[in-house]
Amino acid sequence: MRTDTPPIVRLSDYRPSDYLIDAVSLDISLHADDAIVTAELDMRPNPAGSAGAPLRLDGDELELREFTVDGAAPPAGAWESSPQGLTLHAPPQQPFRLRIITRVNPAANTKLMGLYRSSGVYCTQCEAEGFRRITYFLDRPDVLSVYTTRIEADRNEAPLLLGNGNLQESGELSGTGRHYAIWHDPFPKPAYLFALVAGRLDTVSEPFTTMSGRAVEIAVHVEPGKADRAGYALDALARSMRWDEETFGREYDLDVFNVVAVSDFNMGAMENKGLNIFNDKYVLASPETATDADYANIEAIIAHEYFHNWTGNRITCRDWFQLCLKEGLTVFRDHEFSADQRSRPVRRIADVRTLRAAQFVEDAGPLAHPVRPTQYSEINNFYTATVYEKGSELVRMLGILLGQDAFRSGLDLYFSRHDGHAATIEDFLACFAEASGKNLDHFAQWYAQAGTPLVTARGVWDEEAETWTLRLKQMTPPTPGQTQKRAQVIPIQMGLIGASGRELPLQADNNAPLQDDVLVFDQEEMTVTFRNVTERPTPSLFRGFSAPVRCDIDLSDADELLLFRADSDAFNRWQAVQNLMLKHLAADVAALRAGRPRVGAPAFAGALEDFLASEGARDPAFVAQALSVPTEGDIAREIGSDIDPDAIHTARQTLRQAMATALLPALRAIRDAAEPDGAFDPGAQAAGRRALRNLALDLIAAAAPEEGAERAAAQFHDAGNMTDRMAALATLSLLPGARREEALAAWEREFGDDPLVMDKWFGVQAMIPENGTLDRVRQLMSHPGFTLSNPNRARALLSAFSLSNPTQFARADGAGFSLIADVILELDRINPQVASRMLTAFRAWRTLEPGRRGHALAALQRIASRPGLSVDTQDILNRMLA
């Protein structure tokens, strides 16, 4: 039974397991509502555990059928079991074998954890604690075992039987219509990496030869009839495998690598050993159904899961507090991969935008936690932007601080020293300290201290002395449970730029902690003087976003424009124009709220025009990023408190319109230029051109709605690919009227039976910033293509609404909050993980102006008053209301 205060697990309580499981033999006989699991566990006491301790196996909603120890049923009183666990009071103190038979019901499993059915396909999800929903087990990542799995199913229902490792044997059970396959995985692994798939799927595959010449068959399995959408994922997989060999010397280690796409999945994808299971949204792509953003996501997530084979699987985590050990490092690796496959600066800008939109917000609110948390009540709630994205930034900073050679040596040492083991952050950092000879004790604090540091920078140029003096301060705001903060080690990659735009030499005082162009700022305050600064410099700080911090620097608009025009660092060029826009927008919001005159046309529009003319054709993807007006979320973050989403929306629309009006001739020229024709090319170059053309369309619609609507409607009908189709629909969606409704109706007619494409349709409607959207969303919830029990559907409509439509989610009358509260209550009974994730949309509720804040609180309290909430939802609520 669940109580209202779920038990808390603490990092400081970690103890090695008292028992180990060396080998696991599973026999799983599949029937839709009745799967029989026979597990044989070869166990022994752990020399590092406490001798004679009782053995407590984890379970979750299990039905026990049979239990023996070394072939005999133990006497009553020697053991006990419940659906939530099995305890053997005095286990043998030498190696012993348990045999456990359990029964589970895949068809009834709506939590999508453990063994479940997705569109008739049997599949599993075991991270973090799903294996205990299949059999009783030591379900913890530091118990590593060699698995042999026999899967048996009806041949007609499930012609394909997949497991971890390599296929050992397969055959028919004569006269029964059933068949079986036996898979063996020679690499010891924790239970969370176990997987099986059984179903009717179409396959695309190809051979891959590893760097040492081993033959591997790589394959992607998808819903019948969709094999023509699996090619890009297969290609991305082959590129990932090659890249990991070339970049990090990591070779694949089994004879097969299988990727399976399923339509019901809680997260993006899962790195099970040799058998990655994916949300089909991150596998299926064709020019007609997937946008450029979809292609980029597929490439990144295929790479991410593949890279886990080394960072996560060969080397796993000692306990779940170390989650960032695999996730932060693997995100870093997939970011590097995408940067190499596409444009490095454009990827960096995209990654930082995500970091700020998700992690900075999390870090500034009630759900803030360190990259390595010290306690949890539900681990599923810690698959967060902080663990993933900030975790990745910490790895990136290591590279900047140690230099790329020492960084690479440290990583090599980590791979060789910890292969086959479950490791900790301390183990990881020790490898880099050893390889570089540097002390990383202070750096390690990044893993323990939550909150986003604010760095304040002020520079003074002394013309006489030809010096420039930089005064730095850092401050990390308090976060839940951490009121006192200490200085972090902050690498500031920097340059100084002269008035003509040339890069000035960077020569600091001898004792300054400057390594090449990286200033290491590791105290509360620091002053550094630069010599031979012969002209007034404009500082370019945090080039490439060298640390996950906020920076307050008093640059004038002219300084920002100089950086925008002349900085050699593309990221900071983009940052400069963002700063200009954010400053303008924040001032306009303040004016609106105070009833003062509005700020007027932006002075920087002319610079944007020059920029578009000079660079639009050369680097369209970058230009598209630079011309993107900060989102309403970006603006709210900049303002920080007393947020009025309507004022933000109005200010943003006004700026878009003013910018677009100034750029109109150039935007029309982009639109009217001939496009190269030929087959759809999903590569970064072609995608960049589409991005700029579609941004131009969107801006034209802001300046000249009638013209924009006409152009968008034409593009909607003529588009040869989903990127252009979707962009046209998005533009039309902001223009009320018949054209919009016609386009929506046409989409439904064309794609009504394609759930992933319909998700775009649900999402675009949920994001319309109009009063009518609430009713629209309510109606869409009873659309035949909608169901709350599929996570993609739920998120397409409702997370789009709660995360990307601030004026309607945070309506002044509270009706948006109330709708999402109703949804969470319903969803919590079906799938707690999806419900608790959706609840995090309220994480910035305290930053709202008082009226909206009151409505948000009421909605949260209404959810909290419901008896029987899941631990997942309860945990988020407790923290959000604390």
Catalytic residues: 305
Burial of 718 (0-12, 13-18, 19+ CB in 10 A): exposed
Contact residue for ligand PHE among 86, 267, 457, 743 (CB under 6 A): 267
- Please, which residue, 128 or 798, has the CB nearer to ligand PHE? 128
Q: How far is the CB of 364 from ligand PHE (least distance, A)?
A: 24
Q: How far is the CB of 221 from ligand PHE (least distance, A)?
A: 18
Return the one option of ligand PHE, Zn ion, none that residue 658 interacts with (CB less than 5 to 8 A, by type). none
- Which stretch in 20-28, 120-128, 652-660, 768-776 sits in contact with ligand PHE by CB under 6 A? 120-128
Return the one option of Zn ion, ligand PHE, none that residue 694 interacts with (CB less than 5 to 8 A, by type). none
Query: Is residue 297 a contact residue for ligand PHE (CB under 6 A)?
Result: no
Return the one option of Zn ion, ligand PHE, none that residue 150 interacts with (CB less than 5 to 8 A, by type). none
The residue ranges that bind Zn ion (CB under 5 A) are 327, 330
Q: How many CA atoms lie within 13 A of 702 on its CB side?
A: 25
Task: Please name every residue paired with 505 in a beta bridge, in sequence order, or none if there are none.
Answer: none
Rounded Cα–Cα distance for residues 770 and 780 (Å): 16
Q: How far is the CB of 324 from ligand PHE (least distance, A)?
A: 11
Query: Is residue 127 a contact residue for ligand PHE (CB under 6 A)?
Result: yes
Size of the site for ligand PHE (CB under 6 A): 13
C-alpha distance from residue 867 to each of 534, 828, 861 (Å): 70, 11, 12
Place of tokens 């995090």: 840
Query: Is residue 270 a contact residue for ligand PHE (CB under 6 A)?
Result: yes
- Please, which residue, 233 or 647, has the CB nearer to Zn ion? 233
- Please, which residue, 388 or 446, has the CB nearer to Zn ion? 388
- Please, which residue, 273 or 304, has the CB nearer to ligand PHE? 304
Burial of 705 (0-12, 13-18, 19+ CB in 10 A): middle
Q: How far is the CB of 327 from Zn ion (least distance, A)?
A: 5
- Please, which residue, 152 or 299, has the CB nearer to Zn ion? 299
Q: Which amino acid is at 365?
A: G
Return the one option of Zn ion, ligand PHE, none that residue 127 interacts with (CB less than 5 to 8 A, by type). ligand PHE
Contact 247/336 with Cβ under 8 angstroms? yes
Residues 349-368 that bind ligand PHE (CB under 6 A): none
Cis peptide upstream of residue 290 (ω within 30 degrees of 0): no
- Which stretch in 91-99, 121-129, 405-413, 478-486 sits in contact with ligand PHE by CB under 6 A? 121-129
Query: Is residue 334 a contact residue for ligand PHE (CB under 6 A)?
Result: no
Query: Is residue 139 a contact residue for ligand PHE (CB under 6 A)?
Result: no
Return the one option of Zn ion, ligand PHE, none that residue 383 interacts with (CB less than 5 to 8 A, by type). ligand PHE
Q: How many CA atoms lie within 13 A of 860 on its CB side?
A: 24
DSSP 225-245: T-GGGSHHHHHHHHHHHHHHH
Q: How far is the CB of 52 from ligand PHE (least distance, A)?
A: 35
Q: Which amino acid is at 9?
A: V
Task: Please name every residue paired with 222 in a beta bridge, in sequence order, or none if there are none.
Answer: 202
- Please, which residue, 123 or 730, has the CB nearer to ligand PHE? 123
- Which stretch in 31-39, 124-132, 608-616, 865-873 sits in contact with ligand PHE by CB under 6 A? 124-132
Q: 168 by DSSP, 3-state: which?
A: strand
Q: How far is the CB of 654 from ligand PHE (least distance, A)?
A: 40
Closest CA to 250 of 419, 433, 397: 419
Give me the helix-helix angle, 705-718 and 722-733, nearest 10°: 150
Contact residue for ligand PHE among 102, 109, 124, 125 (CB under 6 A): 125
256 sits in the region (left: phi over 0; alpha: psi -120 to 50; else beta) called beta
Contact residue for ligand PHE among 14, 383, 415, 461 (CB under 6 A): 383
Q: How far is the CB of 279 from ligand PHE (least distance, A)?
A: 9
- Please, which residue, 248 or 383, has the CB nearer to ligand PHE? 383
C-alpha 424, offset from chain centre: 22
Query: Is residue 795 a contact residue for ligand PHE (CB under 6 A)?
Result: no
Rounded Cα–Cα distance for residues 184 and 165 (Å): 5
Contact residue for ligand PHE among 139, 294, 305, 319 (CB under 6 A): 305
- Which stretch in 303-311, 467-475, 577-585, 760-768 sits in contact with ligand PHE by CB under 6 A? 303-311
Rounded Cα–Cα distance for residues 239 and 259 (Å): 15
Closest CA to 373 of 329, 335, 311, 325: 325
Closest CA to 141 of 384, 291, 317, 268: 317
Query: Is residue 804 a contact residue for ligand PHE (CB under 6 A)?
Result: no
Buried b (16+ CB within 10 A) or exposed e, 237-270: bbbbbebbeeebebebbbebbbbbbbbbbbbebb
Closest CA to 500 of 543, 460, 470, 537: 537
Rounded Cα–Cα distance for residues 569 and 556 (Å): 19
Query: Is residue 837 a contact residue for ligand PHE (CB under 6 A)?
Result: no
- Contacts with ligand PHE by CB under 6 A lie at 125, 127-128, 266-267, 269-271, 304-305, 308, 327, 383
